[in-house]
Chains A and B, each alone.
Chain A
Amino acid sequence: MSGPVKFTLDGKQVEAAPGESIWTVAKRVGTSIPHLCFKDDPEYRADGNCRACMVEVEGERVLAASCVRMPSDGMVVNSGGDRVETSRRLVFDLLASDMPERSRSPDPDAHFWGQAELAGLGETHFPSVRPGALKEIPVDSIFHDASHPSISVNLDACISCTLCERACRDVQVNDVIGMAARGVDAVPVFDIDDPMGLSSCVGCGECVQACPTGALMEKTLLNEAATKREVYADKVVESVCPFCGVGCQTEISVRDDKIVKVDGRNGPGNRGKLCIKGRFGFDYALNKDRLTKPLIRRTDAPKRGDIRLSRENMMDVFREATWEEAMQAAADGFNGIIGSDGPGALCGFGSAKGSNEEAYLFQKLIRQGFGTNNVDHCTRLCHASSVAALLEGIGSGAVSAPFTDADHADCIIIIGARPEQNHPVAATYFKQAAKRGAKMIVIDPRGQRLNRHASHPVIFKPGTDVALLNSMINVIIAEGLTDTAYIKANVDGFEALRDKVKDFTPEAMQAVSGVEPDYVREIARLYATSDRSIIFWGMGISQHVHGTDNSRCLIALSLITGQVGRKGTGLHPLRGQNNVQGASDAGLIPMFFPNYASVEDADIRGKYQDAWGRTLDPAKGLTVVEIINAIHDDQITGMYIMGENPAMSDPDQTHARAALAKLDHLVVQDIFLTETAWHADVIFPASSQAEKTGTYTNSNRQVQIGNPAISPPGDARQDWELIVELAKRVGAEWDYDNISEVYTEMAAMMSSLDNISWDRIVAEGAVTYPAKSANVPGDEVIFTNGFPTATGKAKIVPADLLPPDELPDNEYPLVLTTGRLLEHWHTGSMTRTSAALNAQEPTPIVGMHPRDIGAMGFERGQQVTVETRRGAVTLTLRADRDVTPGMLFMPFCFGEAPANVLTNPSLDPFGKIPEFKFSAARIRAASGAEA
């Protein structure tokens, strides 16, 4: 079965490639066949149920649905003619007879109506008893469901085409929507026919994007009753999502300079998909609380670490200023400190939410303008330990293969990650792989919905990663499952590893990790012996005092089994922020110039000194938590923060906020009055991602371009222009006409961006680095032939057991772990400000296993106070079976109950990342609340 199929279509000889349907061939040769239940998108299987695309195959008794029918050699197909056209028109007549008429339907612009025109539908002819048939949908229609905050359901317009079901089950693999009932009663339902807003729907909106009639629709486009469209876009902008490292490409619809909806575009990372944040979280940028004027701290408002501000009382502390005044005040403060305390007293926190160009300019400002390497960003709180281990072991901090390589994997390990919450679109590939039959090993101290798909869910004791992973390595070596040829050719340090893990037998480690020895053997064998195994990991690996050791173990696993450097294999730390890969690449870290070139290497420094025309700081700078400590130690007195929120994101928050309040000079550039901005001397109102041009590098090393969809509010300005302006005022001679010049300057300093010009990114939309030439696609899988180290070989660094810094004891008997929720991003500055997202998760919660809740005499939903040695926070108790007994889980996005008041600032010695995932804690009923 190979080679093209030759057949006749409408009298012409045509050829079909293997797998091409009659419909696809017809489209290719320019024949439009109407289609409804078929979505022209490889993510969606053809279902052939609507019968709109019927064609006549000569010699056959009945017509055939061209979307599912594969042509065969010699077949004679007619896509037109009376019989075919009558049939199609009747199909549309039947469907439209039951629907609201076009002008009064939920979406007169829906795909259905365009296809109805193509099929020649005129008047409808059939009787109907649906409440909305040929009318406007009555708000009390039994088919109307407005229970979801962002999505309206109007099944009066439903044609039972099952695209929403395929969207939910096949494409996003959320398995919420199913077709219920039979015959004319067949309709999509949520769970067991629950209202959508009360169902287990995760709000990805894939069904909305797939629905051809507007029966499922964004509420932002509808009237108040959510039954009829009233908002139409006046422009559509292609861009990229501002939230996570998946880097979904978007299509932003804008009306009157406001975003009204976001669709997924067919990008390499998302293939048309989005999650709830990307699709519905866009309204953060439209929030009325956006900063619109430069602000300067009032002289009568002394700084305090325990201050709480809002838009309502911010004028008690700040006053509005002109840009000139604010900019000069900012520059004067920095210049003064350089003069009095020297450049080392200054520092800057850039942002992984900004573009590559902004990250490059920010670190350049700190290094060239300020003269210090004290520049860092939230990668320090994220994958710094992973990057440290990767650089040390395999010479590169980037992923070895894209998350879409799950398509080709036979065995997938997901450890210390909750991709369904934090990388929902990447999770779709993992779930699809599991459905295809790939083995999936999900390792985490907490349960998660993903375990439903896992062939091997592994719940282990928190903080015992090294014990578990070393015992897997022990099994692989003891049972001779290593790839000796691969090790010989590509790996140094195997013998040391072999000696180290000798005592880490699954039996010996069971007491530590709590995992059955036979189960450890099973997953170790599975990983080692599958043809293609790949590892994905997240903050559960990195945010420990032994975070680097955890990553070292994962690297060792892949190296000794040769599970790296081939399609469907490799190491993939799932990057959190949309541009944490790019910001790190661009040098927004204290020890490296762009592309991980050491600031302590004299040759490299010389190159930058030549380029930037001044002597540069020869020592690596301080990291995020070190900077906070240095402020307390009076070493650092001035700080420039762009788009970061350390007052929320840093561990031991009271300590961190005290440091911010202690600064002589703090300039904060942001879109909102963040908790960090409360401590500022000068605040620059800046632009949201939806308002700017720039490139972003996702978790897959794909450099993509974001375009402005709306204008910044009020006097808010572009971030990159603010950095340039400030640089000029601290003595740097910068001159950029536009952002592409910044990219070009940056790319010239970064070999990783060779052959990737600004114009190429604009033309192609996404380019993966490294790219061997300007004409060939970049390499998705790297390390195919050795590693970018001095020897060309990878280095295994064995890891020893190191307990978490603060173990539970009698006083603090529980383990507190922190993380994110599906709906809330990081410190909440971009999601607590989104009405759509905040409606889903409006209040601070701490999760606890229902058995613990019962055993400790609490009631779910009551107010509780969680305490650690750093502080206490009061919030609502949620029963959550995913939280293992003995643990507490708190998201860190809630400003009114900040989890990081509680977290432990102890650092991993290599990555300098704090131990967010493990603190000893206790819980009690909040005072005034009943126990």
Chain B
Amino acid sequence: MLESIEGKRGLPRHRPPYIAEVGLFGRPTLNHNIETLAWIPTILANGAKWFADQGINADHNGMRSYSVSGRVREPGVKLAPAGIPLIDLINDHCGGMAEEHDFKAFLPGGASGGIFPASMADHAMDFGSFEPHGGFVGSHAVVILSNQDSVRDAVLNTMQFFKHESCGQCTPCRSGTDKMVRILQETAPDQPLMADLMQVMSDASICGLGQAAGNCVAHLIKYFPEELS
């Protein structure tokens, strides 16, 4: 975004330096999501403690906007406490699963945040809870998949999205997302090659997009191995 504002191609910058030190036009810059800014008047009116107390418990602070899509009865943006277990988010805020769909898997945080089995839906939807498993809630864009969905197809779709979204600046992401799509399209994907590719993408991409693009593939291998054979 900063590059675009400066009139350049929209490519991520190398960090460090971080934008708090060297940002827009070389000046220290604060960059926030709209959600954060939108809370400011309410927090100013009610106080920080009030906001912190909105969390599900003392370990999780504040309210969050969860964008829930997929096989739920009532998809949409749901205002819910930070740290709410996903299963509660589905049942209490989205009217449960859609007709004739059994909960199978979910993406907790957009395309980058990984893809997990329904058995992990008891995890708190907050920062820190999916990181040990190679995922994150990130943008809080939750996608719910059912028994009628192929996780492998969802992963391929996600990877095609990354391929499309890759800016093309660095090799691991530019080429890696393309190669991963092609490998996933093969009948019997080469799993060691996929593992190598995930490593270089996560270790050597310039920005979070390439670094996290492989998460869903890792989870496909780990949690849904039957779909690869």
Bound pair (A, B): yes
Q: Assuming A91-B172, A126-B182, A181-B168, is B193 touching A62 (CB within 8 A)?
A: no
Q: What is the minimal beta-carbon distance from B172 to any residue of chain A, in angstroms? A: 6
Q: What is the minimal beta-carbon distance from B6 to any residue of chain A, in angstroms? A: 14
The distance in angstroms between the C-alpha atoms of A54 and B170, with both chains bound, is: 12
Interface centre among B9, B164, B174, B186 (most CB of A within 10 A): B174
A91 touches B204 (CB 8 A): yes
Q: Does A160 lie at the interface of the complex (its beta carbon under 8 Å from any beta carbon of B)?
A: yes
The distance in angstroms between the C-alpha atoms of A91 and B206, with both chains bound, is: 13
B170 touches A62 (CB 8 A): no
A94 touches B168 (CB 8 A): no
Q: Does A391 lie at the interface of the complex (its beta carbon under 8 Å from any beta carbon of B)?
A: no
Q: Does B202 lie at the interface of the complex (its beta carbon under 8 Å from any beta carbon of A)?
A: yes
Measured between beta carbons, the chain B residues less than 8 angstroms from A300 are none
B14 touches A68 (CB 8 A): yes
Q: Does A63 lie at the interface of the complex (its beta carbon under 8 Å from any beta carbon of B)?
A: yes
Measured between beta carbons, the chain B residues less than 8 angstroms from A266 are none
Q: Does A185 lie at the interface of the complex (its beta carbon under 8 Å from any beta carbon of B)?
A: yes
Closest chain A residue, CB of each to CB of B162: A183
A94 touches B203 (CB 8 A): no
Q: Assuming A49-B170, A86-B199, is B204 touching A97 (CB within 8 A)?
A: no
> Secondary structure of the A side of the interface?
loop
B199 touches A90 (CB 8 A): yes
The distance in angstroms between the C-alpha atoms of A52 and B183, with both chains bound, is: 23
Q: What is the minimal beta-carbon distance from A80 to any residue of chain B, in angstroms? A: 14
A183 touches B178 (CB 8 A): yes
Measured between beta carbons, the chain A residues less than 8 angstroms from B171 are 49-52, 91, 94-95, 159-160
Bitwise, A293-324 to B at CB < 8 A (1) or not (0) is: 00000000000000000000000000000000
Q: Does A98 lie at the interface of the complex (its beta carbon under 8 Å from any beta carbon of B)?
A: yes
Measured between beta carbons, the chain A residues less than 8 angstroms from B182 are 126-127
Measured between beta carbons, the chain B residues less than 8 angstroms from A186 are 167-169, 174
B200 touches A90 (CB 8 A): yes
Contact of A65 among B14, B165, B166 (CB under 8 A): B14
Bitwise, A372-388 to B at CB < 8 A (1) or not (0) is: 00000000000000000
Contact of A51 among B165, B172, B177, B186 (CB under 8 A): B172
Q: Does B64 lie at the interface of the complex (its beta carbon under 8 Å from any beta carbon of A)?
A: no
B204 touches A184 (CB 8 A): no
Closest chain A residue, CB of each to CB of B172: A51
Q: Does B92 lie at the interface of the complex (its beta carbon under 8 Å from any beta carbon of A)?
A: no
Q: Does B71 lie at the interface of the complex (its beta carbon under 8 Å from any beta carbon of A)?
A: no
Bitwise, B196-224 to A at CB < 8 A (1) or not (0) is: 11011011111000010000000000000
Measured between beta carbons, the chain A residues less than 8 angstroms from B183 are 126-127
B164 touches A183 (CB 8 A): yes
B170 touches A50 (CB 8 A): yes
Closest chain B residue, CB of each to CB of A70: B16
Q: Does A538 lie at the interface of the complex (its beta carbon under 8 Å from any beta carbon of B)?
A: no
Q: What is the minimal beta-carbon distance from A84 to any residue of chain B, in angstroms? A: 8
Q: What is the minimal beta-carbon distance from B146 to any residue of chain A, in angstroms? A: 31
A183 touches B203 (CB 8 A): no
> Secondary structure of the B side of the interface?
helix
B172 touches A94 (CB 8 A): yes
Closest chain A residue, CB of each to CB of B9: A179
Among residues 138 to 194 in chain A, which have CB atoms less than 8 Å away from a CB atom of chain B? 159-160, 179, 181-186
Q: Does A48 lie at the interface of the complex (its beta carbon under 8 Å from any beta carbon of B)?
A: yes
Q: Assuming A49-B169, A183-B163, is B14 touching A98 (CB within 8 A)?
A: no
The distance in angstroms between the C-alpha atoms of A771 and B185, with both chains bound, is: 69
Measured between beta carbons, the chain B residues less than 8 angstroms from A48 are 14, 170, 206
B211 touches A62 (CB 8 A): yes
A185 touches B168 (CB 8 A): yes
Q: Does A436 lie at the interface of the complex (its beta carbon under 8 Å from any beta carbon of B)?
A: no
Q: Does A28 lie at the interface of the complex (its beta carbon under 8 Å from any beta carbon of B)?
A: no
Among residues 139 to 194 in chain B, which have CB atoms less than 8 Å away from a CB atom of chain A? 163-172, 174-179, 182-183, 186, 190, 193
A94 touches B176 (CB 8 A): yes
The distance in angstroms between the C-alpha atoms of A179 and B3, with both chains bound, is: 15
B206 touches A86 (CB 8 A): no
Measured between beta carbons, the chain B residues less than 8 angstroms from A87 are 199-200, 203-204
Closest chain B residue, CB of each to CB of A52: B171
Q: What is the minimal beta-carbon distance from B110 to any residue of chain A, in angstroms? A: 18
Closest chain B residue, CB of each to CB of A186: B168
The distance in angstroms between the C-alpha atoms of A49 and B13, with both chains bound, is: 10
The distance in angstroms between the C-alpha atoms of A182 and B177, with both chains bound, is: 12
A160 touches B168 (CB 8 A): yes
Measured between beta carbons, the chain A residues less than 8 angstroms from B179 are 94, 97, 126-127
The distance in angstroms between the C-alpha atoms of A49 and B205, with both chains bound, is: 9
B203 touches A184 (CB 8 A): no
Closest chain A residue, CB of each to CB of B163: A183
Q: Assuming A48-B14, A65-B14, is B170 touching A184 (CB within 8 A)?
A: no
The distance in angstroms between the C-alpha atoms of A48 and B205, with both chains bound, is: 10
B170 touches A51 (CB 8 A): yes
The distance in angstroms between the C-alpha atoms of A49 and B204, with both chains bound, is: 10
The distance in angstroms between the C-alpha atoms of A301 and B175, with both chains bound, is: 71
A86 touches B196 (CB 8 A): yes
Q: Does A851 lie at the interface of the complex (its beta carbon under 8 Å from any beta carbon of B)?
A: no
Closest chain B residue, CB of each to CB of A126: B179
Among residues 61 to 87 in chain A, which have CB atoms less than 8 Å away from a CB atom of chain B? 62-63, 65, 68-69, 83, 86-87
Closest chain A residue, CB of each to CB of B168: A186
Measured between beta carbons, the chain A residues less than 8 angstroms from B196 are 86, 90
Q: Assuming A49-B171, A62-B211, is B204 touching A182 (CB within 8 A)?
A: no
Contact of A90 among B177, B190, B197 (CB under 8 A): B197
Q: Assuming A50-B171, A95-B171, A95-B175, is B203 touching A63 (CB within 8 A)?
A: yes
Among residues 46 to 61 in chain A, which have CB atoms less than 8 Å away from a CB atom of chain B? 48-52, 54
The distance in angstroms between the C-alpha atoms of A48 and B171, with both chains bound, is: 10
Contact of A184 among B175, B190, B202 (CB under 8 A): B175
Bitwise, A860-873 to B at CB < 8 A (1) or not (0) is: 00000000000000
The distance in angstroms between the C-alpha atoms of A95 and B174, with both chains bound, is: 10
B177 touches A184 (CB 8 A): yes
Measured between beta carbons, the chain A residues less than 8 angstroms from B203 are 54, 62-63, 83, 87
Measured between beta carbons, the chain A residues less than 8 angstroms from B169 are 49, 186
Measured between beta carbons, the chain A residues less than 8 angstroms from B175 are 94-95, 97-98, 126, 184
The distance in angstroms between the C-alpha atoms of A97 and B172, with both chains bound, is: 13
Measured between beta carbons, the chain A residues less than 8 angstroms from B193 are 125-126
The distance in angstroms between the C-alpha atoms of A127 and B171, with both chains bound, is: 15
The distance in angstroms between the C-alpha atoms of A845 and B189, with both chains bound, is: 63
A183 touches B177 (CB 8 A): yes
Q: Assuming A62-B211, A125-B193, is B200 touching A183 (CB within 8 A)?
A: no
Closest chain B residue, CB of each to CB of A127: B182
Closest chain B residue, CB of each to CB of A68: B14
The distance in angstroms between the C-alpha atoms of A183 and B162, with both chains bound, is: 9
The distance in angstroms between the C-alpha atoms of A94 and B202, with both chains bound, is: 15
Contact of A183 among B14, B166, B202 (CB under 8 A): B166
Q: What is the minimal beta-carbon distance from A87 to any residue of chain B, in angstroms? A: 5
Measured between beta carbons, the chain B residues less than 8 angstroms from A184 are 163, 166, 168, 174-175, 177-178
Q: What is the minimal beta-carbon distance from A435 to any residue of chain B, in angstroms? A: 14
Measured between beta carbons, the chain A residues less than 8 angstroms from B206 are 48-49, 51, 65
| 18 A-B pairs in the complex with CB atoms less than 8 angstroms apart | A48-B206, A49-B206, A50-B171, A51-B171, A51-B206, A62-B211, A68-B14, A86-B200, A91-B172, A94-B197, A98-B175, A125-B193, A126-B193, A160-B168, A184-B163, A184-B168, A184-B177, A184-B178
| Chain A interfacial positions (CB closer than 8 Å to B) | 48-52, 54, 62-63, 65, 68-69, 83, 86-87, 90-91, 94-95, 97-98, 125-127, 159-160, 179, 181-186
| Chain B interfacial positions (CB closer than 8 Å to A) | 9, 14, 16, 163-172, 174-179, 182-183, 186, 190, 193, 196-197, 199-200, 202-206, 211
Give me 15 other A-B pairs in contact (C-beta within 8 A), A87-B200, A126-B183, A184-B174 excluded.
Answer: A48-B170, A49-B206, A51-B170, A51-B172, A51-B204, A51-B205, A51-B206, A63-B203, A68-B14, A91-B200, A94-B179, A159-B171, A182-B168, A183-B177, A184-B175
Pairs of residues from A and B, 9 with the lowest C-beta to C-beta distance, nearest first: A186-B168, A90-B200, A183-B166, A184-B178, A94-B175, A51-B204, A126-B179, A127-B182, A183-B168
